[in-house]
Structure 1
Amino acid sequence: MEPKPNSALAERLSNLLSRLAPATATKLASGLERERLRGTSGLPYDLILSSLRPILGRDPGPRSGVPDPLRQFCLPFEDLLVDTRDTSLHTRQIARTSIDPIWFWLTTELMPDALPDITGRIVEYTLNGDNASLGGALAVMHASCSAALLAGLETARRDIAQRRKLERLLGGDAMLEDARIMAGVLAVAPFMLDLRNELPSRIEDFDDRLVALVSGLYEDARETAPDHAIYIPLATMKRLAAPWQILRLARKLSGFGNDAALSRSGLSELGVIFLSELEDIAASYEAKRPGKVDLAHMHERVLRFAEISQGFVREIDIRRVSDWGHRILAARARISAAIAEEMSRFDQDLAKALPLHQIGTYGKNGPRKPDVTHAPNAERVAKAQADLRFLTGICPVAESIGVQAHCRTITQQIETSLVAYEDALLEEIRRAKGSERDNALAFLDIIIGFRDTLGPPSVADTLRRRGKVAAQTA
């Protein structure tokens, strides 16, 4: 039995281990796994290794060392493991924190006699270097664990008392879903291991050769376990720099390149993953009040929307009359409406950052000039600057999200406002004295910053030179 450190010591040890560099964590994990296989006692292996797993998972390269049975158990679903579940992604994920509770369930309740016997054989074959026997033992472990998990989950589905007991044992409903995914992957473990070994860890271009490789593994897995073969493309997708390239596999296997054919195929989930994310992004801004949105975050999400939309359409033929076509167009309309409403305030925000006041007694429609009686309002300036960063950030992808007309209109409005303000401000710099001149120069620096954001750099440089001339002639 492993020693049980008290909770305070365990927490301190876990915090210390979580700060290790990946290379150090890998060496430590390899040494621990080797010693545990040899039967060395006296160390809290489970505690240490569970603390190291998030660090080890961030290393894309192959792990060194001698894998223990638990690590061998995890290899088939390694590509689906995540440190933290990302609910914005509609693909299947397994939290690393679920591994130990599910393994405990297997060893204590589902397979209390069989699993220790199998893991003992795995340790023996590993230490003896008997790879042929090891491969057979691993196949038995994966298949047996898959069957046991599926049976246990089915019992819990039918019996509410069993479900509640299982939720308490595992720690919640999310771990039940993780167990279901583990069981599905383990049902096609031989093919997942081939995929793991034959695919590059990072795929910049999912070319014809790789598509053919994954296609063959998928077809083989479908013959063995048709309900679980989907994990072959889902694991592949995790390695793609552009995840929507997985649709190339769907095109090949369905025999057609249009969305209607793919939506009716067994691989429709691959398209639905991206459609659902597009709809989530659009819905998240549809309900927000204009002017209350975090523009930096919205910019990030809009770029993600554009990236998915462009990649999706590039990989398959989307027909407007199809269900997928309708969903993409509807999501695009919702996100473009939210963006247009947000951008409609930009010219007003700019006017608040660069205030004007009336000249003479001509009324509110009379001539106005920059108000340099007060220093710039930092909060209003920051808001206008955020507006301009957002505008310049999304205009390059405006067509793919349906806001190109709004981008042109708002950009022209801002350009007109800036040109008029700049000319008048330079005149104020020549005329003003004392604190008003200082304020005018501060406003000039602000506008130069706006011009740096909007580009091109030559416009800001020209304004700097004009400002220096105006200051020298004052």
Structure 2
Amino acid sequence: MMTEQQTSIRQKLASYLAQLPQPAALKLASGLERERLRGTANLPYEMILAGLRPLLASFRGARPGLPDALRQFCRPFEDLLVDRDDNGARQGRISRVSVMRVWSWLEQDLMPDTLPDLKARIAEHTLKNDEVALNAAVSVMHASTAAAIHAAFDEARQDTARRKQVEKRLGGEIGFEDACEIADVLSVAPAMLELQAVLPKQIADFDEGMVATLKELYERVEETSPSNALYLVFAVMGRLSEPSQILRFVRKVAQQRDDKVISRCELSIFGEQLLSDMEKIARRCEALRPGHADLDELLEDVRRFAHLSKGFTAEIDLHRNGEWGQRLLSARGRLSAAISQEMSRFETELVRALPFHQFGQYGRGGPMRPDLGKAPDRSRLDRVEACLRFVRGVTPICESLGAQSHCRSIRQQIETYLASYEDRLLEELRVSQGTSRTNAGDFLEAAARLHETLGEDRQAEVLRRRGQVAAQG
């Protein structure tokens, strides 16, 4: 158990390391790994590398350096690692925090004699650049660690008390499931490493050649280990820029595009996961209170939903009366309702930020003019800018969300109000004096910035020019 001081030091170190540029981070990681392989003592290797791992995982391309035994241990399942998974235990996703728990468990409990010897051999072969001997040692480590974990789990599943001990050692039930998945992947490590060698780290287009490569490897592994062959597909899915493209492989195996057929085949889990991600986004957006959501975060969720939905429907043929078609329509309807409810308050926010007031003796039906008694309220303008960023972001994808009618209506309301406000503001700018004139200029600049937020740079430029002419008049 770490003390508060140790926790604070680790957090500060992680914060500092996260700001390192890529060349510096890679150089530091390579140097640490080299010194650890040589056995140099008195350096907090694990503390520093733990802070670097999230940053290193975000870099593209092959990572340089001399991988130690732990990195070699992780290689077969590196495409399955996630920083966090809000869905809990889920096949094909392994939490990074589980890796060190499993490794420590192997070192201290399951293989206290064998693993240190394997680590030493891997370090020796790495430093000597003996690739043949290194590959042999790594293969032995993968096979022996997989066997050790499986044996421990077989024992734990037959003894409730033992299972509780193992779960406690691994950080709970999710850690237990992660360790089980690690063992399953390690049992097919040669195929996982072969797949990594022939496919790019980042796949923008999962073309027919790549699909055929995956199918060949998948069918080969499926003959001897049917349940673990799925991890090859999960690994490729982790490399795809468009996760829905994994359905191209599913189509290839099922030899069908029909969702009713695909949803019942052995690879339906990949469609289920995509649908589950969309349903989760819909539920999260549906639970938000209008006016209290972070609109930038909401927009990211909406974009991801639209992205997944578009890809899903492009890869397979969905039927409205099919299970998958019904689930997608339901999630889309809930998300559309949440977006409409959130956007319904945008005009009110605009009125508060660019207010009118009535004058004369005509009551509520009297003429209106911009309220220039106070300078623009920065907090209200910030809220309106967030609203308009959301409108601008949602507009191109509103059709795939089923929210096009409401998006058009809200944008029309905003543009009508802005046009009316700007015309009256320019009149005030011509005749006002003192503080009112200063405030009028600030409101005009605020209105111009709102146009820029909507992506209407030309309108913003024209408004500023009209303001200059009005001020001179």
Fold shared by both chains (TM-score > 0.5):
yes
Q: How does 1:104-119 map to 2 (within 5 A)?
A: 104-116=104-116
Aligned residue number for residue 190 of structure 2: 190
Aligned residue number for residue 210 of structure 2: 210
User: In 2 relative to 1, CA 13–380 (structure 1 residues): closer, same or farther, beyond 3 Å?
Assistant: closer
The answer as to whether partners of 2:26 and 2:64 remain within 8 angstroms in 1 is: no
User: In 2 relative to 1, CA 57–285 (structure 1 residues): closer, same or farther, beyond 3 Å?
Assistant: closer
Greater Cα offset, 338-347 or 101-110? 101-110
Aligned residue number for residue 291 of structure 2: 291
Q: Distance in 1 between matches of 2:329 and 2:265?
A: 22
The answer as to whether partners of 1:25 and 1:56 remain within 8 angstroms in 2 is: no
Aligned residue number for residue 201 of structure 2: 201
Aligned residue number for residue 22 of structure 1: 25
1:364 counterpart SS class: helix
Residues 416-451 of structure 1 deviation map (CA, whole Å, 9 limit, x = unaligned): 111111111111111222222222222211111112
Residues 437-470 of structure 1 deviation map (CA, whole Å, 9 limit, x = unaligned): 2222222111111122224322222211211111
The answer as to whether partners of 2:26 and 2:63 remain within 8 angstroms in 1 is: no
Q: Distance in 2 between matches of 1:315 and 1:202?
A: 20
1:228 counterpart SS class: coil
Q: Distance in 1 between matches of 2:103 and 2:275?
A: 34
The answer as to whether partners of 1:343 and 1:410 remain within 8 angstroms in 2 is: yes
Q: Distance in 2 between matches of 1:25 and 1:335?
A: 45
* Residue 267 (structure 1) aligned with residue 242 (structure 2): no
The answer as to whether partners of 2:146 and 2:187 remain within 8 angstroms in 1 is: yes
1:204 counterpart SS class: coil
Q: Give the residue type in structure 2 aligned to 1:87.
A: D
Aligned residue number for residue 74 of structure 1: 74
User: In 2 relative to 1, CA 147–425 (structure 1 residues): closer, same or farther, beyond 3 Å?
Assistant: same
Once the two structures are TM-superposed, the CA of residue 92 in structure 1 deviates from its matched residue by 3.1
Q: Distance in 2 between matches of 1:455 and 1:128?
A: 58
Q: TM-score, normalised by structure 1?
A: 0.89
Aligned residue number for residue 87 of structure 1: 86
Q: Distance in 2 between matches of 1:225 and 1:258?
A: 27
Greater Cα offset, 398-407 or 340-349? 340-349
Q: How does 1:163-312 map to 2 (within 5 A)?
A: 163-312=163-312
User: In 2 relative to 1, CA 413–220 (structure 1 residues): closer, same or farther, beyond 3 Å?
Assistant: same
* Residue 424 (structure 1) aligned with residue 438 (structure 2): no
Once the two structures are TM-superposed, the CA of residue 75 in structure 1 deviates from its matched residue by 1.6
Once the two structures are TM-superposed, the CA of residue 378 in structure 1 deviates from its matched residue by 2.3
Once the two structures are TM-superposed, the CA of residue 342 in structure 1 deviates from its matched residue by 1.0
Aligned residue number for residue 152 of structure 1: 152
Q: Distance in 1 between matches of 2:461 and 2:42?
A: 69
Q: Distance in 1 between matches of 2:389 and 2:45?
A: 50
- Aligned pair count? 465
Q: Distance in 1 between matches of 2:111 and 2:190?
A: 21
The answer as to whether partners of 1:149 and 1:183 remain within 8 angstroms in 2 is: yes
Q: Distance in 1 between matches of 2:47 and 2:447?
A: 57
Residues 369-408 of structure 1 deviation map (CA, whole Å, 9 limit, x = unaligned): 2222232222222222221111111101000111100011
User: In 2 relative to 1, CA 133–410 (structure 1 residues): closer, same or farther, beyond 3 Å?
Assistant: same
The answer as to whether partners of 2:13 and 2:48 remain within 8 angstroms in 1 is: no
Counterpart among 29, 35, 39 of residue 32 in structure 1? 35
Q: Distance in 2 between matches of 1:231 and 1:449?
A: 50
Aligned residue number for residue 457 of structure 1: 457
Q: Distance in 2 between matches of 1:450 and 1:284?
A: 28
The answer as to whether partners of 2:353 and 2:376 remain within 8 angstroms in 1 is: yes
Q: TM-score, normalised by structure 2?
A: 0.89
The answer as to whether partners of 1:358 and 1:366 remain within 8 angstroms in 2 is: yes
User: In 2 relative to 1, CA 434–263 (structure 1 residues): closer, same or farther, beyond 3 Å?
Assistant: same
The answer as to whether partners of 1:259 and 1:318 remain within 8 angstroms in 2 is: yes
Once the two structures are TM-superposed, the CA of residue 16 in structure 1 deviates from its matched residue by 5.3
User: In 2 relative to 1, CA 159–462 (structure 1 residues): closer, same or farther, beyond 3 Å?
Assistant: same
Greater Cα offset, 453-462 or 46-55? 46-55
The answer as to whether partners of 2:13 and 2:51 remain within 8 angstroms in 1 is: no
Once the two structures are TM-superposed, the CA of residue 254 in structure 1 deviates from its matched residue by 1.2
Q: How big is the alpha-carbon RMSD for the aligned residues of Structure 1 and Structure 2? A: 2.8
Q: Distance in 1 between matches of 2:397 and 2:13?
A: 44
Q: Give the residue type in structure 1 aligned to 2:378.
A: A
Q: Distance in 2 between matches of 1:453 and 1:64?
A: 42
The answer as to whether partners of 2:32 and 2:45 remain within 8 angstroms in 1 is: no
The answer as to whether partners of 1:33 and 1:67 remain within 8 angstroms in 2 is: no
Aligned residue number for residue 382 of structure 2: 382
Once the two structures are TM-superposed, the CA of residue 146 in structure 1 deviates from its matched residue by 1.9
1:369 counterpart SS class: strand
User: In 2 relative to 1, CA 365–189 (structure 1 residues): closer, same or farther, beyond 3 Å?
Assistant: same
Q: Distance in 2 between matches of 1:370 and 1:126?
A: 74
Q: Distance in 2 between matches of 1:437 and 1:184?
A: 72
Q: Give the residue type in structure 1 aligned to 2:166.
A: L
Aligned residue number for residue 97 of structure 1: 97
Q: Give the residue type in structure 2 aligned to 1:85.
A: R
* Residue 447 (structure 1) aligned with residue 450 (structure 2): no
Q: How does 1:362-381 map to 2 (within 5 A)?
A: 362-381=362-381
User: In 2 relative to 1, CA 326–357 (structure 1 residues): closer, same or farther, beyond 3 Å?
Assistant: same
Q: Distance in 1 between matches of 2:326 and 2:60?
A: 38
The answer as to whether partners of 1:188 and 1:224 remain within 8 angstroms in 2 is: no
Q: Distance in 1 between matches of 2:387 and 2:444?
A: 18
The answer as to whether partners of 2:149 and 2:179 remain within 8 angstroms in 1 is: yes
Q: Distance in 2 between matches of 1:422 and 1:331?
A: 40
1:232 counterpart SS class: helix
